[in-house]
Structure 1
Amino acid sequence: MLQLDKVTRRFGTKVAVDNVTIEVPEGQMVGVIGASGAGKSTLLRMINRLIDTTEGEIAFAGTNVSTLKGQKLRNWQRDCAMIFQQFNLVQRLDVVSNVLHGMLNGRSTLATVFNVWPRQDIERAVEILERLGVAENAAKRAEALSGGQQQRVAIARALMQQPKVILADEPIASLDPRNAQIVMQALRDINRDDGITVITNLHTLDTARTYCERIIGMQAGKVVFDGGPDELTEAAARDIYGADGLAEAFSEATTSTSLGLPQRPRKPASELEAMPA
């Protein structure tokens, strides 16, 4: 279980995350929603320890990850994989090499510099790419892929770490609805098939309701909603986004997975790619 106990993060006089206490059981898929500046990204970055907490404690399986240093911190960041909106791939490298970089924490510096990988690791990377429907691009440079394909490569890199938790920070914010749906379906398949805990920041309500079993709403750094998709009513959305933010929250044109087609809850990501745009 992942536990946050009275977690706060300040930047100078600004409180980005304010006294957050939540528990996430193993294997749950959680969507974190809220307007820009609500504290969603800061929350995920504290969990991964990209930034430190100002107050409070973050624990996983009984270990206080808030105080980890050195190799123990690197081990946690291996177990808690991070996926970013900007993909964070090495654009000049081929796709397989980008996926293999998910293993850098366990590699020697010399082997990394010369890009030398054991055959079994390369085969595993290709298997993960096949699972995500992008294996045909394995030998291409990352820069040659579309945004949706690059995000799936980033997911493959995260899976290469063999993580216990995946944190996805606005993973579909720069994608069109079709590719957004493919990426969200891939994350949900990983959550359900592998039992990996997934926590993802999202903007629109249709995406959170469709893919997440639990939704946490944040406003001004505080958790103001914590419940299931059916509980995410318009009144609850008003509490999360404020009256002025409701239009964006319900918009299907911005960071949404709505294609104007009936949702199919368990279609694999590789099949979704074949859907007409």
Structure 2
Amino acid sequence: MLYVKELTRRFGTNTAVDRVSFEIDRPMMVGVIGRSGAGKSTLLRMVNRMTEATSGQVLFDGEDVLALRGKARRAWQARCAMIFQQFNLVPRLDVVSNVLHGTLNRRSTLATVFNLYSASDIHRAIDILDRLGIAEQAAKRAEALSGGQQQRVAIARALMQDPRIILADEPIASLDPMNAQVVMATLRRIHEEDGRTVIANLHTLDTARRYCDRVIGMRDGRMVFDGAPELLTTQVAREIYGANADFSEAATSTEIETLERADDSYALSMMGP
């Protein structure tokens, strides 16, 4: 379905993504992990065509994605939706209007300029919000919502595109642990119920293990791990993150119980014997 081959991106003398190759032959949820600067975001942006590749190939159902131009490129970006860390909503617009922006790639210029939407699109947007548990927020301004709610609005906007693939670039990095779990559970449910492929950049190992069918590890622009979540041992994680024996998964956890235990341990260490 999706074949990434020797994908590379250079910025001057810096190689952000270095000959990354992988294949996704069926719908699945994939987590891409690695420290900041590992090339995760650049990788997803190249797949979506927001960033041009220096070399390599991205094939989807046999079509050369990197060769697409104009209308064909925009059509690909509709089939391959992006979700961002900072939500990228229009703060002063109401929630349902933000969701309806997911239809922009298939609307006429006139309809876009005058903000015209069909009744069927409006009903579909509300149905998607209801599915994600935030239909009651439809008339509110986006800026009035919590971070977790705003990210679910961003997911709803992506679903309005009816994409085959959803690329989520650090979708929970700005959220507290409880909202992070809600957003990840939402993405997992979309994958399972709709049969859509979800590729999410993540910082936390427990999140990758809990929600993903497959994990790709990146370090310094290169893919250094590709396997099932159960193979993601602490030793493998140290290699991905370039960490020494002091590396602790608790420091990157989104599990509320783990964070509480880590806080308790820290408090005890500060108290001394």
- Give the TM-score of the pair, scaled to structure 2: 0.92
Contact 2:47/2:58 (8 A) holds in 1: yes
Note if contact 1:4-1:22 (Cα within 8 Å) is conserved in structure 2. yes
Checking the alignment, whether the CA contact within 8 Å between 2:238 and 2:247 is kept in structure 1 is no
Q: 1:109 Cα deviation (Å)?
A: 1.8
User: Partner of 2:37: helix, strand, or coil?
Assistant: coil
Residues 45-84 of structure 1: matches in 2 within 5 Å?
45-84=45-84
Match of residue 93 from structure 1: 93
Partners of 2:195 and 2:180 in 1: how far apart?
22
Asked if 2 retains the 8 angstrom alpha-carbon contact of 1:35 and 1:245, the reply is: no
Matched, 1:257 2:254: yes
Hey, what's the Cα distance between the residues in 2 that align with 1:237 and 1:73?
36
**What is the aligned partner in structure 2 of residue 115 from structure 1?**
115
* 1:192 partnered with 2:192: yes
Q: Which residue of 1 aligns with 2:158?
A: 158
AA paired with 1:251? A
Aligned residue type for 2:105:
N
| Secondary structure of the corresponding residue to residue 206 of structure 1 | helix
Question: Where in structure 1 are there 5+ consecutive unaligned residues?
Answer: 262-277
Corresponding residue of 2:270: none
Name the residue aligned to 2:263.
none
Equivalent residue, structure 2, for 1:204: 204
Determine helix, strand or coil for the equivalent of 1:173. Answer: coil
The residue number in structure 2 matching 1:21 is 21
Tell me the amino acid that sits aligned with residue 42 of structure 1: T
Moved over 6 A (4+): none
Bigger radius of gyration, 1 or 2?
Answer: 2
Per-residue CA deviation, residues 222-266 of structure 1 (Å, 9 max, x unaligned), is 010001111000111111001259746x135x5x430218xxxxx
Match of 2:7 in 1: 7
Conserved 8 A contact 1:206-1:258: yes
Tell me which amino acid in the other structure corresponds to 2:211. Y
Cα distance in structure 1, aligned partners of 2:157 and 2:26: 21
Give the superposition deviation at 1:42.
0.3
Look up the match of 1:105.
105
**Structure 2: distance between partners of 1:63 and 1:42:** 21
| Secondary structure, counterpart of 1:209 in structure 2 | helix
- Alpha-carbon distance in structure 2 between the residues aligned to 1:44 and 1:222: 14
Query: By how many angstroms is 1:87 displaced?
Result: 0.1
Hey, what does 1:168 align to over in structure 2? 168
Q: CA deviation at 1:127?
A: 0.4
Q: CA RMSD in A?
A: 1.3
> How many pairs does the alignment contain?
258
AA paired with 1:71?
A: K
Give the % identical residues.
Answer: 65
Shift of 1:114: 1.9
